[in-house]
Every structure is written in structure tokens, then in C-alpha cells.
Structure 1
Amino acid sequence: MADVRRLSAFAARPVLVVDDSKAQRKILQMQLTRWGYQVTEAASGDEALALCRLQDFDIVLSDWMMPGMTGLAFCEAFRTLPREGYGYFILLTSKSETNEIADGLEHGADDFLTKPVSAAELHARLRAGERILGMQDELIEKNRLIGSTLGELQKLYDSLDRDLIEARKLQQTLMRDRLRDFGAGKATLMLRPAGHVGGDLVGSFVVDTSRIVVYSVDVSGHGVASAMMTARLAGLLSGASPDHNIALRVAPDGGRDAWPPAIVAARLNRMMLEELQVDQYFTLGYAEIDLETGFATLVQAGHPHPLLLRANGAIERLGDGGLPIGLIEGAEYPQTSFRLQPGDRLLLVSDGITECPNAAGDELGSDGLIALLKHNSMLHSQDLLEALLWDLNTFAGGGVFPDDVSGLIFDYLGPS
């Protein structure tokens, strides 16, 4: 009685009994029905195969020796049929030789029962088959759940991918003007995020009729959080909204003036630590340039050294290194002054260029960047930035850059 209760959990499994003996089929049918199975009978292998093409049977009990198609041939044909789940196949036979049993297993049989069939042994073989079918049912259900979950994840990924594409478009608008003409000078900008969005930003803004500012920012990381920070910084360093520009102030005469670069860096550092209180930090290259005299003041806050490309071909490193912004409270940022002559160019780049590795893991470095610049020094600034990207890609061995890459070149033409 206990065995019947245990098998009741598998009730209603479809079972096919195949035997040319009607009496043998009847005996098996009665036993299986009593244990809760749905039993279908077939008198030959051909008839059984036809039934299997119409219905999936979880368990098949088939005699080995039958007229026409033998049980072994039926088993082999049964395994070739398309079906959703597994079918457990038991051969009923009087054969007991090892090589014959091996032949049956080779043709797809799962188990054997010796005729005449013992009810207790049949019961035990069915329980073994039920365990296998149960595990297979569980696996199918888990695969279904995995497939369903993957489908939901794909929908979320597609939605996120669309949002990131739109975010990339919006981030590109932060530097809508890739070439800006100030009369006495021109700023050329380049930005290549490593992913959909990134943490680099380059830009410029006007202080007054004779002064401008150019800057390069690299926020730690290069994902969505970094992109949101660059959007915030773009607003704080925007010429379109001077009232919100953290670098601008009102002059004593009521006109517009600018804080010195060192003060701008300190104000940004205080804002990061006291107001935003985020785990991010950023590096900054920031230069205020007098268009009439060419005199410039620079602050380098953890950013790669700005480079001064002289008209005569010489290249000078500028800046004293400095600390990144948003790491240390009360950090001080030293200023560097220099003078631009007509034909000189100021280059600001992110560390996505100087720290770009090659296949061996060696970084390009500042010396490598200078070598690339000398190789392309005859090019105009826009072409120079494109050539720099091309050469950097060659150095890295092709593919996607591991970090955001950005740069800005300011060409000083001199007062007209």
C-alpha cells in the first residue's frame, strides 16, 4: 500500500505496453493501471511506432522478440522520433547474455526485465525510471525559467541600451561645437567614450572680450555615474549660463571677471567634498588665456601634463602634476604661467591617451604621446586629433579603447 502511495505522485504518466501476446499485455496493463498510469497497448513494433508518432509516452515497456519489427528495432526507431521530453524504454526479454544486454543498451534501451515479469521487480524498475524522468522534468522546468528570465533580461538590456544610446547623444551635446573660433584663437575638441557614455569632458567658455578658458575633465570611471558627473560639471563650466559658472564672478566695475584657475580648482574640490559627497573624483586641466597678449595661467589637478606645441616644432610639458579634485579636503592647486606666441598650440588630453596600453600591457605614456605629435605636427588641429586617434588605435592593437579618450587643442593666432 505504501508503494502505491509513493507512485501516486507520478500518476497519469502515459505508458505504452508493446507485446504480441495479448495475455502478457493484459497482465501488465492491470498492474500499471493499479499503480496509476495511463496505459496504451500495441500488438507489434510497427503499431507501437505509429502510436509514438501521434503521442509522447513517458515510459515504454516492449517485448524484445516479436514478429516483424523486433523490440530492439522499435527501440532504435523510437529514439529517432522528435519529442519534447525523454522517453524511458524498458525491454522485456528472456535474454540474459551480457553481449545481448550490451546490444540493447547500444540501441537505446534504458533497462531490462526478464520474462516472466515479476511485479515487484517491475515496480522497482518503474521507480528507477520515474526518478530519471522526474529529474528530467525538473531540468526542463528550470530551463524554461532560465529562458523566461533571459527573455526578461534581454528586454531590460534592450531598454537600457536604447536609453544609453540617447544618453550618448545628450552627452555629445555637451560639446556641440567641436570647433570654436574666438578670433585670436580656435579651440578644436575630440571625445571618444569607451562605452555608450563616459566620464571625459572637454570644453571652453568666454570670460570677457579678451579672455577665454579651455579645460579638460576626466571623471573616475567611464559609465553612467561618470557621465552624470560630467553633465554636472559641464553646467558648472558653461559659457551659456554664466550666472551658474563656478569660475566666473562679478568684477568691481560690475563687469564679468573670472576666479584664478587655482581658486576654480579649490572651489570644485570643496563642492565635491562638502556638497556632492560622492565617491567619485576627477582630474582637471584648466587654462585661462588672454587673447590679446597670449599670456596664460594653467592649473593641473592630477591630469596628464598639458603640452605646448610651439610653432617651431618644439614641444614643452606644462604643469606641476597636482592632486585630483574631490579626494583631499583643503587641497591646494599650484598655478603655472606661460605665454603663447602666434602659431603655438596648447594641447589638453585625458589619461585615456597617455595610459592606453598596447598588447604587451605597456602604456603609451607622455613620451609616446609626444612622439605621435611630432610625427603628425604638420597637420591642422582637427586632422591632428583624428591622426592621434588613429595612431593610438594602432598602438593598442585595434578594437575598443579601454578608457574614454578626449582631447582639446587651442590654436593661438594672435590679435588681429
Structure 2
Amino acid sequence: MQRAGPSSHDPKTDPAGRPASVRHVLIVDDSRVQLRILRSMLERWGFAVAQAESGEQAIEACLAAPPDIVISDWMMPGMSGVDLCRAFRDLPHDGYGYFILLSAKTDKAEVAEGLDAGADDFLSKPVNAPELRARLSAGSRVLAMERALSDRNRQLGEALDQLRVLHAEIDRDLKQARTIQQALVPERSRLFGTSRVSLLLQPCGHVGGDLVGMFSPGTGRLGMYGIDVSGHGITSAMVTARVAGYLSSRFPDQNLALERRFDRYFALHPPEVVAEKLNRRLAADPGVDEYLTMAYVTGDLHSGEMRMVQAGHPPPILLRADGEIRLLGEGGLPIGLVPDVRYDQVRFDMAPGDRLLIYSDGFTEARMRDGSMLEEQGLVDLFRQTAAHARGEELLHDMFWRLRTELVDSDLGDDVSAALLEFDALSVETP
């Protein structure tokens, strides 16, 4: 096998004399005269040429240095051009190799046989130089496109691998963020004397923008809330984390809903004052576009006197012991949307056996199988039916499970959260 390099002045090379990307041609023929003729033409056109006098030599040459283009005679002793083409296609290749068969054969069946073996093009013998050059140009274009596509696929594969690594890192961070966010609600159920508060928090993704909580500055006094930050995902979760610090049950000195009295105990601020203080803090934060809705309730668990503020949150549901239903509140502006907002207080009383449900619109806006939303009446019915046989956390989890079974898609479209107060529950449950 012999090889020759291209001329630095040939039009197939760039101005610096470098050969074109498609440059290596292997010619195969048992006729040395035919090899000499082909080699002369190809080198004149700027190709690097290797040659073999049999199919077996050609395979060895391909293994040693895979060619861009193979030009092979059809009729050769031993391995024919068609057999060589089949063997060439079976060789391991980083890229595609273009195969041209030379033959005096013009029969359609024989041409079909060559195509079936993997040949890309045919040339009749004796070879016409302009036609050969045209076929080589066509083959070069095919190879250039194939290599460009392969290069793009390689780049896409590398980018995909990088994205997989980044996705895995983000997924780990989000799982940790979910753990941190769940820790914002350290207690899911707590007794306050004979009353009980239970909480439900189900983000639609790794993290969410809902928050529920409860705290007590002293015996018989209760604060509980439900919050829904606008949007979804990490930004909303960061806002909920910040608000959780403002309403901390663990650190009363940092809780803006509490006021220290005489350095001895804490008292509850009126709900409307809490909403106004929270609104001023969020509205004053530079770069924070998110706002939140909130229902916040304070209660005297001895007398049953309750006070509430509703800031754009869905109206809490009061289920009386006798089955009567009352929706509380008339709306109000969300918190953090407009500065210097004043909020109205809603007063109501609870009696032994009454239940109060604060919930997010993840419940009421859930899409059912028939295409409709659950809406307030659907939630009222769900609450009433579930409350007939369940209590505390079990009641909330049962409501959530029933909701999931009726969704058009099992995946949540929004965060779902709820806070349930069962007033004087233990005295009612225990004769």
C-alpha cells in the first residue's frame, strides 16, 4: 500500500495549504494500470491516496487508517467489490465512509445488489474524469453533512451529560430544601388544653409557597395561620422561610404577633395589627415582588372568643357541632402587594365540638376528573363528610387523600395546606 500527500497549491486545500476535511481516499483494483490512472487523478485534485490490489488488502488498509472514501472495482479475484463493501460496512467506524463501486455492469438487478451491500454510488468503467470528480464532490458533501451532524450530536451529548450532572446537583439541593421547609412546621398536631390544632403541608414540587403554623404565648391563648405566597418553587419557598421566622413558635421574642408584657409574659397582638406589621415588612423589602395571602386567627380557648384577619386568603370554614357551616371573612388585600394597608378584624365564637378549617386554594382550585374545580362548596362537602368519622391529623390526611383520588391528574397543580382547630375537642370526645 502506498500513500501520497496533496499539493499545497491545489484548490482542494485552504489558503494555508491544509487539506480539506474529506481527503483520504482508498482505491482498490486488481489492475495496476487502473490504480495508476485513478491515483494520478485523485492526487491532482488534492486527495491523499492509499491503494490496495485486493479486497483482503483493502480491509487491512481500512483497519490501519480508515478512509473517507473507498473507490473499488466490482470484479476482482477472491473478494469482489460487493463483498468488500459488505465487509467495509461491518468494520468499526467513528464516522461514515463513502463507498463507490466501479463496474461495467449496468443491469438493474446487479445495481440493486450493490446498493443492498451498502454502496453509495456507481461509476461505469472506463472512468470519466469529470464524472469521477463530480461523484467525489457529491460524496464529500454527504460526508461533510454527516460529520457536522455527528459533531452536533457529540456536542449535544456532552451538553446533556453536563445537564444531567447539574440536574442531579439541583435535585439534591431541592431535596435538602424540602427537608428544611418541612422543618418550618416542626409540629403537625398539638393539644392546647382540651382543644387541638392539626396541620397539613403538601407542596406540589420539591418546595412550595404554602405555610401553616400555630403558637401559644400562654395557657388558653392560641394563634394559628395559613399562608400562600404567590408563585411556586424556590423563590416562593424563600419567602415562606422568611415569614416563618416572623411568626416563629420557638422564638417568641422574634414573633411579630407577640408582645412582651412587663418582662414576664407574652400577649397576642390583634390579628389586624399582625397583618399590618407583616405587610409593612414585605412591602419594604427591595427586590421582592412576591406577595402572600393569609388567614390568621387568635383565640381564647377558655371562652371560645375568636378573632381573625383575612388578607386575600380563601374564607376559613367553621363547622359547628350540629353540622351548620359558616364561611368566615370577606376577602381583604394580600400582604406585601400595597404599602400602608389597613385590615379589618372578624369576630366569631366557637363552642365545644366546633371545628375551624383554614386552607389554601390548592384545595378549591384542584381540577377534578370532569374538568371542573372543587371550589368552596366541594370543599365544604368534603370537610363535612370527612369530619363525620375522622379527627385531627387523620381528618386532614383523609381529605387530602380523597382529593388526590378525584384529580384529573394525580400530580398536584398547586401547593395544598390546611390548619384545623378542633375546639374543646377532648371534652366532647371523652364523656
Q: TM-score, normalised by structure 2?
A: 0.89
Can you list the C-alpha shifts for 1:379-416, whole angstroms capped at 9, x where unaligned? 11211111111110011045221111111111111798
CA distance in 2, matches of 1:232, 1:5: 65
Counterpart of 1:221, as a letter, is G
Q: CA deviation at 1:207?
A: 2.9
CA distance in 2, matches of 1:289, 1:325: 22
Counterpart of 1:3, as a letter, is P
Corresponding residue for residue 411 of structure 2? 400
Corresponding residue for residue 239 of structure 2? 229
CA distance in 2, matches of 1:117, 1:265: 91
Asked if the contact 1:291–1:414 (Cα under 8 Å) also holds between the matched residues in 2, the reply is no
Match of 2:13 among 5, 11, 33: 5
Can you list the C-alpha shifts for 1:266-304, whole angstroms capped at 9, x where unaligned? 222222212355211111010001011111001111111
Corresponding residue for residue 380 of structure 2? 370
Asked if the contact 2:13–2:46 (Cα under 8 Å) also holds between the matched residues in 1, the reply is no
CA distance in 2, matches of 1:231, 1:11: 58
Change (3 A) 1:138 1:415: closer
- Indicate whether 1:204 and 2:214 are aligned: yes
Please give the secondary structure, in 1, of the residue aligned with 2:285: helix
Q: CA deviation at 1:82?
A: 3.4
Please give the secondary structure, in 1, of the residue aligned with 2:11: helix
Corresponding residue for residue 347 of structure 2? 337
Q: Which moved more, 1:161-170 or 1:107-116?
A: 107-116
Asked if the contact 1:292–1:414 (Cα under 8 Å) also holds between the matched residues in 2, the reply is no
Asked if the contact 2:319–2:384 (Cα under 8 Å) also holds between the matched residues in 1, the reply is no
Asked if the contact 1:292–1:415 (Cα under 8 Å) also holds between the matched residues in 2, the reply is no
Corresponding residue for residue 287 of structure 1? 297
CA distance in 1, matches of 2:22, 2:133: 16
Corresponding residue for residue 413 of structure 1? 424
Please give the secondary structure, in 2, of the residue aligned with 1:9: coil
Change (3 A) 1:277 1:30: closer
Counterpart of 1:286, as a letter, is Y
Corresponding residue for residue 239 of structure 1? 249
Change (3 A) 1:11 1:258: closer
Asked if the contact 2:192–2:220 (Cα under 8 Å) also holds between the matched residues in 1, the reply is no
Matches within 5 A, 1:153-192: 153-192=163-202
CA distance in 2, matches of 1:3, 1:348: 80
Please give the secondary structure, in 2, of the residue aligned with 1:84: coil
Asked if the contact 1:15–1:61 (Cα under 8 Å) also holds between the matched residues in 2, the reply is yes
Corresponding residue for residue 274 of structure 2? 264
Corresponding residue for residue 147 of structure 1? 157
- Indicate whether 1:306 and 2:303 are aligned: no
CA distance in 1, matches of 2:185, 2:356: 18
Corresponding residue for residue 362 of structure 2? 352
Asked if the contact 2:366–2:413 (Cα under 8 Å) also holds between the matched residues in 1, the reply is yes
Corresponding residue for residue 59 of structure 1? 69
CA distance in 2, matches of 1:92, 1:225: 67
Unmatched 5+ stretches in structure 2:
1-8
- Indicate whether 1:128 and 2:135 are aligned: no
Please give the secondary structure, in 2, of the residue aligned with 1:299: strand
Corresponding residue for residue 391 of structure 1? 402
Please give the secondary structure, in 1, of the residue aligned with 2:19: helix
Counterpart of 1:323, as a letter, is L
Identity %: 47
CA distance in 1, matches of 2:283, 2:349: 33
What is the aligned residue count?
416
- Indicate whether 1:115 and 2:125 are aligned: yes
Counterpart of 1:408, as a letter, is A
CA distance in 1, matches of 2:179, 2:18: 62
Q: Which moved more, 1:343-352 or 1:248-257?
A: 248-257
Change (3 A) 1:93 1:163: same
Unmatched 5+ stretches in structure 1:
none
Can you list the C-alpha shifts for 1:322-375, whole angstroms capped at 9, x where unaligned? 221122233332221111112211111111111111234311011111111222
CA distance in 2, matches of 1:138, 1:307: 64
Q: TM-score, normalised by structure 1?
A: 0.92
CA distance in 1, matches of 2:144, 2:85: 21
Counterpart of 1:23, as a letter, is V
Can you list the C-alpha shifts for 1:5-53, whole angstroms capped at 9, x where unaligned? 3695326843221112122123323433454444332323344345445
